[in-house]
Structure 1
Amino acid sequence: MKQQSITDVLMVGATGSIGRFAVQTAQRHGLHPRALVRDVQRAEQLLPGVELVQGDLEDPASLRRALHGADALVLTHGSGSDARPDARAHIDYGGVRNILLAFGDARPRVALMTSIYATRDDVPGASPWKRRSERLLRTSGLPYTIVRPGWFDHAGPTQRRLVLDQGVTADGGIARHQIAETLVRSLLADTALGKTFELTATEGGEQKDWSVLFGALQADAPDAVDGVRDPANLPVAAEPPALRADLQAAGSLRKTG
């Protein structure tokens, strides 16, 4: 599978701590980032000189406008600042659902950031909503890479060697700029397409050949809802009817794309 040419990248979560790094990284690689923001005035202070597009993950009409012309998306949004008890369902999951359904016939490349604990049910506080968002993206048939970073900022300055792992037993830290670099680099490498992996950093020098880094990973199985080595601990058949309906809606994108 070969990627399309990428220039215009819509950044979702651009004013967040990872998103701001991702915008800078995209610029450094010669891409044109556009930032999806709810509050334009606030975003102008955080992202000076960056093209801003007003929109809201819970407003499908605004997403359709924002997505127009995008070759790719980097999704680093999260519900951490949302006080609603069901924020993860609305933002972590619902944001991805609403974006996918807003695409229409467009087929942009997607880099989605979730969590190293996305599939874990043995970790206190772990939530299935990010895993559910991943499932929507895989089911859509869009070209994607899913990055599951470890603990933000739990990597020192000498931990420059990235570890891309599969098998959901990985644990560890990663610097925010390393997450952003990996997300943007995944848009530029054919070897990253269709892959899901955990991302941490360890002692050692920075790797230079991203094609080799991504190429060492297994691709997710065609038509699979889960990552290549994900545990079978969240059966789709046991999911609520509304979530199964969302998967079916996402699957319709594959048929019409």
Structure 2
Amino acid sequence: MSALSVLVVGATGSVGRHVVDAAVAAGHRVRALVRDPARAVGFPASVEMVVGDVTRPDTLGPAVDGIEGLVVTLGTDGEGKTGARTVDYEGVRHLLAAIGDRPVRVALMTAIGVTVREGQYNQTTEAHDWKRRSERLVRASGQEYTIVRPGWFDYNTPEQHHLVFLQGDRRTSGTPADGVIARAQIAQVLVGSLTSADARHKTLELVAENGPAQPDLDPLFAALDADPPGSLDGVHDRPNQPLDAEPASVHGDLAALRGVLVEPSQHNHHEKDLT
């Protein structure tokens, strides 16, 4: 496995701190994007800290300079619709714009149930809709990527460490019954995806069941179906967020990334020139 220069976004969060540790343990050169240096305590000495804010694109140039991998673990619980849009979605857009055409391997964390639109949580916060839009930006960016939708953080018991990769986002109760996972294991999967050829262009829900953790993630990634070329959504996702009903700004963001709009249909996805 070759070492990469990796930027961790959300590095001071509850999952991001584990990502920093996992990336250092894997031998990567790690840079942490932090809004407040006072919160960036306890990082390994080798970690480079860069002050910046995903909601302020003018601060992101030094953070993305020279990176080869990007792990994004943004979260805005408690900030409602505004936070969901400005951080979970626009933050990802700003990062991709700052990277531009340079090839960077992207690992994006969203959430299990991200395609569930009718539940009270999404109706109140629109968090699922905006996270799903952030996934679409990553797929449209042309970068190599893996999108990880973890279950409920740290609800697992000491016996639940056997990793299970799912697809299609079919667990929709909105409770820990949908699946549980340790934060440290989320970090392991995100970091592991950066150097796994079998993880490219894969979207998965991540949970843990009874049993020991697997030492090798590649067979788990290899068993997944890849997102189809040109697709905006995960390979088995329900087509329940049609592009023609999306905000005009979202159309513009996709156009800026690709120069085309990609319109989801029931079974596949077709490109439509903007010109």
| C-alpha RMSD of the superposition | 1.6
Cα–Cα, structure 1 residues 237 and 167, in superposed 2: closer, same or farther, change >3 Å? same
- After superposition, residues 53-72 of structure 1 pair within 5 angstroms as 53-72=50-69
> Are 1:172 and 2:194 an aligned pair?
no
2:89 & 2:162 partners in 1: Cα distance?
31
Aligned to 1:143: 144
1:209 & 1:48 partners in 2: Cα distance?
25
C-alpha deviation, 1:204, in angstroms: 1.1
C-alpha deviation, 1:208, in angstroms: 2.0
Cα–Cα, structure 1 residues 233 and 96, in superposed 2: closer, same or farther, change >3 Å? same
Task: Say which SS state the counterpart of residue 88 (structure 1) adopts.
Answer: helix
Task: Say which SS state the counterpart of residue 97 (structure 1) adopts.
Answer: helix
Note the residue ranges of structure 1 that are not aligned, 5 or more in a row.
none
> What are the Cα deviations for residues 29-77 of structure 1, in whole angstroms up to 9, with x where unaligned?
111111001112321x242522101111011121122100101000001
Cα–Cα, structure 1 residues 27 and 195, in superposed 2: closer, same or farther, change >3 Å? same
Aligned to 2:268: none
> Are 1:15 and 2:12 an aligned pair?
yes
TM-score (norm. length: structure 2): 0.86
Is the Cα–Cα contact under 8 Å of residues 21 and 43 in structure 2 kept in the other structure?
Answer: no
> Are 1:118 and 2:114 an aligned pair?
yes
Cα–Cα, structure 1 residues 85 and 240, in superposed 2: closer, same or farther, change >3 Å? closer
Aligned to 1:237: 244
2:81 & 2:214 partners in 1: Cα distance?
41
Task: Say which SS state the counterpart of residue 147 (structure 1) adopts.
Answer: strand
% identical equivalent positions:
48
Task: Say which SS state the counterpart of residue 120 (structure 1) adopts.
Answer: coil
Instruction: Return 140-149 or 54-63, whichever deviates more.
Output: 54-63
> Are 1:42 and 2:49 an aligned pair?
no
Aligned to 1:105: 101
Task: Say which SS state the counterpart of residue 234 (structure 1) adopts.
Answer: coil
1:22 & 1:133 partners in 2: Cα distance?
20
Cα–Cα, structure 1 residues 91 and 122, in superposed 2: closer, same or farther, change >3 Å? same
C-alpha deviation, 1:150, in angstroms: 0.5
Aligned to 1:163: 164
Is the Cα–Cα contact under 8 Å of residues 220 and 227 in structure 1 kept in the other structure?
Answer: yes
Task: Say which SS state the counterpart of residue 188 (structure 1) adopts.
Answer: coil
Task: Say which SS state the counterpart of residue 148 (structure 1) adopts.
Answer: strand
Is the Cα–Cα contact under 8 Å of residues 15 and 46 in structure 1 kept in the other structure?
Answer: no
> Are 1:225 and 2:232 an aligned pair?
yes
Matched letter for residue 141 of structure 2:
S
Aligned to 2:175: none
Note the residue ranges of structure 2 that are not aligned, 5 or more in a row.
123-127, 172-177, 261-275
Is the Cα–Cα contact under 8 Å of residues 159 and 211 in structure 2 kept in the other structure?
Answer: yes
2:232 & 2:2 partners in 1: Cα distance?
26
C-alpha deviation, 1:104, in angstroms: 2.3
Is the Cα–Cα contact under 8 Å of residues 117 and 123 in structure 1 kept in the other structure?
Answer: no
